[in-house]
């Protein structure tokens, strides 16, 4: 599918989105940076009407199944990416023990220079690859993919063991993870 096919056209729809760090840098190998993403998603839920049905944060990318109540999905995602970009770049700069600081900032600065929409750094890749969820079967396929990502990567043995995912919520059939979710299945 061409990039033109990846577009949020129904702002009230249910979407599977994936977004990756520029050059697939493993930023989220540090808890501090993963927590910035979690806190920002929580803020988007409480203040911007973001509804999360499934999610997973990997070392260099994230997957979400989302919709938005009052706001449109594109605006909420745009605000989320803009905020987390700035906050994570600042956290990298300020982190006293970040041995990869210069290397990461150089990559993000180089990407930012290539993109006229950025003032200095680019953290996230431009495309979210949104896919509208029309059927329960497609929703189930995406939930399974999201939840199995950490097990497939060898991070955990069982999907429900990974705390940066909604897998444990679905496994136990109740809210017990880091983010509030609405169950799809």
What is the per-residue pLDDT for 9?
Answer: 61
Residue 99: C-alpha distances to residues 38, 52, 96 (Å)? 23, 33, 8
Residue located via tokens 């940066």: 164
The CA-to-CA distance between both ends of the chain, in Å, stands at 27
DSSP code, position 161: G
pTM of the model: 0.91
Q: What order of strands is seen across the sheet that includes strand 15-20?
A: 50-57, 61-68, 15-20, 131-132
From the options 3.30.590.10, 3.30.70.1290, 2.170.190.11, 3.40.309.10, give the CATH code of 3-172: 3.30.70.1290
Which residue in 59, 68, 38 sits closest to 178, CA to CA? 38
Question: What is the number of other CB atoms lying within 10 angstroms of the CB of residue 103?
Answer: 11
What is the per-residue pLDDT for 3?
Answer: 40
Gap between the Cα atoms of 30 and 22, Å rounded = 16
Residue 106: C-alpha distances to residues 86, 100, 101, 103, 111 (Å)? 15, 10, 8, 5, 9
What is the per-residue pLDDT for 50?
Answer: 96
Burial of 27 (0-12, 13-18, 19+ CB in 10 A): buried
What is the per-residue pLDDT for 116?
Answer: 75
Domain definitions of the chain by residue range: 3-172
pLDDT tens for the chain, 185 residues: list them. Answer: 334 345 666 666 899 999 999 999 999 999 999 999 999 999 999 999 999 999 999 999 999 999 998 768 888 999 999 999 999 999 999 999 999 999 999 999 999 998 877 779 999 998 888 899 989 999 999 999 999 999 999 999 999 999 999 999 999 999 999 999 999 97
For residues 25 and 60, the answer to whether their CB atoms sit within 8 Å is yes
């Amino acid at each position: 599918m061409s990039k033109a096919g990846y577009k949020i056209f129904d702002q009230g729809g249910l979407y599977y989105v994936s977004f990756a760090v520029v050059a697939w840098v493993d930023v989220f190998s540090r808890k501090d940076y993963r927590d910035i993403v979690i806190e920002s998603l929580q803020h988007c839920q409480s203040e911007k009407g973001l509804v999360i049905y499934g999610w997973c944060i990997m070392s260099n990318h994230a997957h979400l199944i989302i919709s938005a109540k009052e706001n449109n999905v594109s605006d909420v995602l745009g605000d989320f990416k803009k905020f987390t970009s700035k906050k994570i770049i600042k956290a990298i700069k300020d982190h006293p023990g970040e041995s990869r600081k210069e290397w990461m900032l150089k990559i993000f600065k180089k990407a930012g220079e290539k993109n006229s929409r950025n003032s200095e750094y680019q953290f996230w890749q431009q495309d979210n690859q949104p896919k509208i969820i029309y059927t329960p079967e497609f929703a189930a396929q995406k939930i399974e993919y999201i939840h199995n990502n950490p097990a497939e990567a060898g991070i955990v043995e069982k999907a429900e063991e990974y705390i940066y995912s909604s897998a444990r919520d679905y496994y136990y059939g109740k809210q017990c993870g880091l983010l509030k979710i609405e169950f799809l299945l």
